[in-house]
Copies of this chain bind each other. A is one copy, B any other.
Amino acid sequence: MSERKRSGKVSRRITAEAIAEKLGVSAMTVSRALNGRPNVNRKTREKVLSAARKYGYTPNHIARSLALRKTETIGVVVPEISHSFFPEVIRGIEDAVYSAGYHLILTSTAEDVNREQDAIMTLQSKRVDGLLISTAQTVTDHSMYEETIRQGVPIVFFDRVVQNIGATCVSIDDEDCCARITEHMIGHGYHSIAHLSGPPTVSIGKGRMKGYKKALARHNMKVRPELIVQSGFHEKGGYVAMERLLQLSPRERPDAVVAVNDPAAFGAIKAIQEHRLRIPQDIAIVGMTDDIRAELALSPLTTIRQPAYEIGKSAAEALIEEIEERAKPGRKIIVQTELTVRKSCGCV
């Protein structure tokens, strides 16, 4: 029990062992008292607790994690944090995680595959007990996810999910959503409905495209390939894609647009307005997500409300269940959505 420290910088922090020494008990007794384990005399426990308070003891979670081989921390990997969707998801995650006594290491990948790989690696180094991932747009190789799971670290995907590798996925039913909102447009009597689509590499992009086509098919409407333009998930892409649609001759031009999400819709709205067309009279448009800006838009955007908070919360809860082995991985959890009708679709 050497009193020397190796580095000059002496840690001011008191350890459980130091408290033990002061009280003339063993470190183990202190540990037991502090963690509320049984088999500690009431008197002893009180002595320990009051000493801990007195000396400002903060348990060293790092040492604890090393000894117990668990960190009570989960890693979150999101593609971005700027827009309203992910913060809201994170809020849901935070709440669930907090009440289960876990913590949250947040990494964002800026939609970059390399950064995502990097993030997953370092989160593993930090020995997170599990991972919550929404994939970057360009990810196509899933081997790292599989490897992570094989190493015993459960993953729950949310929103942008990866099916078929045995991990639990939490998302909305993209296909159904998009079909519903497309049918809403069909119900309005539009007959030339365009789709600004997401990248086909991402589950959401694929699912929504499928829903769009399905809705058309159900009403015997032809899919016109020139009316499907890939916009991606961001405003800028929506703008560019819409510009492209507006180049079509007036006869070919769509009278309605189903955008893959709200930000893309905002971009499209900007393009439509620049062409001095009216929404919804000249071109109606709807989005999906319910971005906080949707209500404020010049022509308030009809959209599918995607309950970001609930997605985050259920994903976190599912992950913690799997970490604590109270549930098996590989579940599909669908979060309910609802159509939020405003004006951009042509309703009142």
A interface residues, Cβ below 8 angstroms from B: 7, 11-13, 56, 58-63, 65-66, 69, 71, 73, 80-84, 86-88, 90-91, 94, 98, 103-108, 115, 121-122, 124-127, 147, 150-152, 292-293, 296-298
Are B61 and A126 neighbours in the complex by a CB distance under 8 Å? Answer: yes
Are B81 and A87 neighbours in the complex by a CB distance under 8 Å? Answer: yes
Decide yes or no: A62 and B58 within 8 Å by CB, A81-B94, A104-B107, A296-B297 being known contacts: no
**Besides the known contacts A81-B87, A98-B115, 19 further A-B residue pairs in the complex with CB atoms under 8 A apart:** A11-B152, A61-B122, A61-B125, A62-B65, A80-B91, A82-B87, A82-B88, A86-B87, A94-B106, A94-B107, A94-B108, A104-B105, A104-B106, A104-B107, A105-B106, A293-B293, A296-B297, A296-B298, A298-B298
Task: Kindly identify which residue among B86, B98, B108, B293 contacts A292, using a CB–CB cutoff of 8 Å.
Answer: B293
Given the complex, which residues of B lie within 8 Å of A98, measured CB to CB? 107, 115
Given the complex, which residues of B lie within 8 Å of A152, measured CB to CB? 11-13
Minimum distance in angstroms from A299 CB to a CB of chain B: 11
Minimum distance in angstroms from A315 CB to a CB of chain B: 16
Are B62 and A91 neighbours in the complex by a CB distance under 8 Å? Answer: no
Minimum distance in angstroms from A310 CB to a CB of chain B: 14
Task: Name, among A59, A88, A126, A297, the residue most crowded by chain B CB atoms within 10 Å (CB to CB).
Answer: A126
- Name which residue of chain B comes closest to A14, CB basis: B151
CA distance A107 to B95 in the complex (A): 10
- Name which residue of chain B comes closest to A103, CB basis: B105
Given the complex, which residues of B lie within 8 Å of A292, measured CB to CB? 84, 292-293
Task: Kindly identify which residue among B58, B91, B115 contacts A125, using a CB–CB cutoff of 8 Å.
Answer: B58
Query: Can you identify 13 A-B contacts, CB atoms within 8 angstroms?
Result: A7-B69, A58-B121, A62-B65, A62-B71, A62-B127, A73-B126, A82-B91, A84-B292, A86-B87, A103-B107, A104-B105, A293-B296, A296-B298
Are B108 and A105 neighbours in the complex by a CB distance under 8 Å? Answer: no
Are A11 and B69 neighbours in the complex by a CB distance under 8 Å? Answer: yes
- For the complex of A and B, the 10 pairs showing the least CB-CB separation, nearest first, are A61-B125, A87-B87, A106-B106, A296-B296, A61-B126, A81-B87, A58-B124, A62-B66, A62-B65, A62-B127
Minimum distance in angstroms from A80 CB to a CB of chain B: 8
Are B126 and A62 neighbours in the complex by a CB distance under 8 Å? Answer: yes
Given the complex, which residues of B lie within 8 Å of A69, measured CB to CB? 7, 11
Task: Kindly identify which residue among B84, B151, B296 contacts A13, using a CB–CB cutoff of 8 Å.
Answer: B151
- Name which residue of chain B comes closest to A108, CB basis: B94
Task: Name, among A62, A127, A298, the residue most crowded by chain B CB atoms within 10 Å (CB to CB).
Answer: A62
CA distance A11 to B129 in the complex (A): 13
Minimum distance in angstroms from A289 CB to a CB of chain B: 14
Given the complex, which residues of B lie within 8 Å of A82, measured CB to CB? 84, 87-88, 91
Are B81 and A91 neighbours in the complex by a CB distance under 8 Å? Answer: yes
Given the complex, which residues of B lie within 8 Å of A104, measured CB to CB? 105-107
